[in-house]
Amino acid sequence: MTKKIIALVGALVLTFTYAIADEGMWLVNMLDKQLYQLMKSKGLKMDQAEIYNDKGGALSDAIIAIDGGSCSGSIISPQGLMITNHHCAYGDVHALSTPENNYLENGFWAMSMDKEIPIKGKSVTFLRRVVDVTEETKFVMDSLAKLGPKGIFFMRKVSGVLEDKYKSSGYEVGLSSMWRGEKYYMYFYETYSDVRLVGAPPVSVGAYGGETDNWGWPQHKGDFAMYRVYSAPDGKPGAYSEKNVPLKAKRYLTISAKGVKENDYTMILGYPGRTNRYTSSFELREKYSILNPVVSGVRRAKLDVWKKYMESSDAIRLKYADKYFGISNYTDYAKWENICINRFGIISQLEANEVRLAQWINANPERKAKYGNVLEDMAKGYKLIADITRVKEYFRESMVRGAEFTGIGQRFNSLIMNAQRAGKDSIFPADSNVIFFHKRVAKKLFEGSDVTADRELFKVMLRYYVKEVPASYQEKEFADLLAKCGGSTDKLADFVYDNSILTDETRLDNFFSSARSTQEMLADPMIIIVKSTGIRDYNREEDNLLTKASIDMASLRTAYTNAMYEMKRELKENVYPDANSTMRLTFGEVSGINAKDAVYYDYRTTTQGILEKMDPTNYEFTLKPQYEKLLRAGDWGRWGEKGKLYVNFMSDNDITGGNSGSAVLNGKGELIGLAFDGNRESMAGDAYFVEGYNKCVNVDIRYVLWVVDKYAGATHLINEMTFAK
């Protein structure tokens, strides 16, 4: 079995959460037993039941999904101390920051529990049990199907029936399917909503190297943050209360301060969001040729505008830091994904699989009847909608996801439509929905944005829209407004921002000081923009093209995936379910990478690299003076190794979005690091695992603890933890 299969199958077949209720054992599907033996041969020193069992107390009880699965984390003390990535906490730290007390720039450390800051809306979820409900689910599906047409909400109805049955367990329950409906599992969860920020290093530590190093190697990020989970006094989940107490953990991770060596066994437990490993060549070609170029191009232009203004003012930097961080991550991903798709010939490899699939389908009359011309129809469908897909994506990126004040225009338009639906021709300052929009929605936007920067951004987005979207999709009101401005998108943007009530706080306050007619509101230039540049025409054209050709793309995608599953199973190839935000295990080993011709990257980095990259003229590579001083002093204490402090290391674990913050464990289940990134050579990994190139970038737990100990002086946190002997 090659390393590719080890990493790939280890990530997505050996899903220990597929345990059979009451037996506490692995679900036998394909190669589970062989894979467990393989894990042991690579360095696993734990029984299966120590990783997961429904009786509790296993490693899985220390692993959490943050905010529904946006990131992963783990419990590292008996008192509910939780660790995850800094970039997972970025939004919380940013929201707490002010120009006078900038936690994002300066870091935050609670030196006692009473100083920990509650985070409104924050939640962490523990997996408590998993039950195979495949037969029950299929019975419910058959029963409901007899009552009438399935419809688009059919599976929601099925889930509702089963979840109603199991909700009496006292846990939250959720039905998830694997292998496109081959298997169904009921997941039992506990969600705690009193979560408090404990500590986060400055952004110059947590995100050192910033966008420049994103997805790259070597990296030197201290990408970690700490929270504490609180429960009601009886240990149950509860809303924030001063009476709540630190969670008494059912299981917490032991920490290893021994470090890692090349070829060491590693495994990661977390909540990967989505993969698309059974995508067709047609779908990937659409992404490569249309979607990714549009996304990376338009969003990069947006980021360039923001960056210009962020560099002009610390106050503006704080306003846009979180938004910039969020958008830049996927912008770079789209760019590097295309590079990897091209470099590794992924589309050609998918096409080769489809040649096999066609032969397999045509070799059997029953399969031919079941799957028909799925490949031919998919090819035809994607070709039919290619042009409208491109145009629609430009519209979305420029006018829907573009300037922020067009977004508030959409909200304002909803206010008008709600009034019209209620038979009102006016709105009044005392209306509750008006107060909410004026005092909450609009106020928040003005506080968190710079109107001058957004005006410039709107100009850039309008240029994209007018250049890339045919005039036939522009309604008369927009065309008239553009003509009034002499066809100049810049003049149109200035006209809108000079005259709209939504782009000036004083104008907005004056407008809402008295009753206003809906016709007066509809005359606002920003409303004319958002009402005359909608999505309906694009969707209508796409539907018409496919309907005339009798093509149902959703059904074709399902049939394609099912056929590929069925073929691989019959040929005894490894068949694993795509990630779907349920808990997964991936195993691998610490390793470097032959990145490209004549370039080899070692598997770990040291603090020396931080100093080598340091550049006081580049925000992404600046350090706090005290931090630089500590690095140069080289007092690593118990966290160093032979005079060095290691910062990040690579492993070949198979991760994706949602895994950020996941615990990286050694063969004994001890915490050795946190997963925080992939590498640029692995950016095609959503669709295809490329042997030898898919890497996981992790922060060494010893660097984390050195920051907590030597820089923050938060030794009370270290005293909570348990270390391996």
Considering all CA atoms of the chain, what is the largest pairwise distance in Å, rounded to the nearest integer? 77
**Contact 48/669 with Cβ under 8 angstroms?**
no
- Catalytic residue selected from 72, 281, 296, 660: 660
Taking CA atoms, 522 is separated from 235, 285, 409, 517, 532, in Å, by 53, 41, 11, 9, 11
The dihedral over CA atoms of 334, 340, 345, 351, expressed in degrees to the nearest 10, equals -40
- Encoded tokens for 210: 């910033």
**Contact 140/158 with Cβ under 8 angstroms?**
yes
Spatial separation of the C-alpha atoms in residues 626 and 256, rounded to whole Å: 27
Spatial separation of the C-alpha atoms in residues 37 and 29, rounded to whole Å: 15
Spatial separation of the C-alpha atoms in residues 70 and 323, rounded to whole Å: 16
- Encoded tokens for 156: 């929601």
Cα 202 from chain centre: 22
Strand spans (E) along 487-637: 516-517, 584-589, 593-596, 599-601, 604-606
**Contact 409/529 with Cβ under 8 angstroms?**
yes
Location of structure tokens 């989970």? 229
- Catalytic residue selected from 86, 87, 94, 220: 87
Spatial separation of the C-alpha atoms in residues 605 and 522, rounded to whole Å: 58
Vertex 195: Cα angle to 191 and 200 (nearest 5): 135
- Catalytic residue selected from 223, 454, 524, 654: 223
Helical residues (DSSP H) of 396-533, grouped into ranges: 404-421, 432-436, 443-448, 451-468, 476-484, 489-499, 505-511, 518-522, 525-531
Taking CA atoms, 6 is separated from 10, 18, 131, 669, in Å, by 5, 19, 26, 19
Where does residue 643 fall: left (phi above 0), alpha (psi -120 to 50 degrees), or beta otherwise? left
Spatial separation of the C-alpha atoms in residues 524 and 528, rounded to whole Å: 6
Say whether 660 is catalytic: yes
Cα 422 from chain centre: 38
Task: Give the gyration radius of the chain's Cα atoms.
Answer: 27
**Contact 77/226 with Cβ under 8 angstroms?**
no
- Encoded tokens for 491: 């003049």
**Contact 81/717 with Cβ under 8 angstroms?**
yes
Say whether 223 is catalytic: yes
Say whether 438 is catalytic: no
**Contact 260/650 with Cβ under 8 angstroms?**
no
Spatial separation of the C-alpha atoms in residues 133 and 285, rounded to whole Å: 36
Beta bridge partners, 408, equal none
Spatial separation of the C-alpha atoms in residues 39 and 53, rounded to whole Å: 18
**327: CB partners within 8 A, 6+ apart:** 299, 302, 303
Cα 66 from chain centre: 11
Amino acid identity for residue 406 in this structure: T
List the catalytic residues.
87, 223, 660
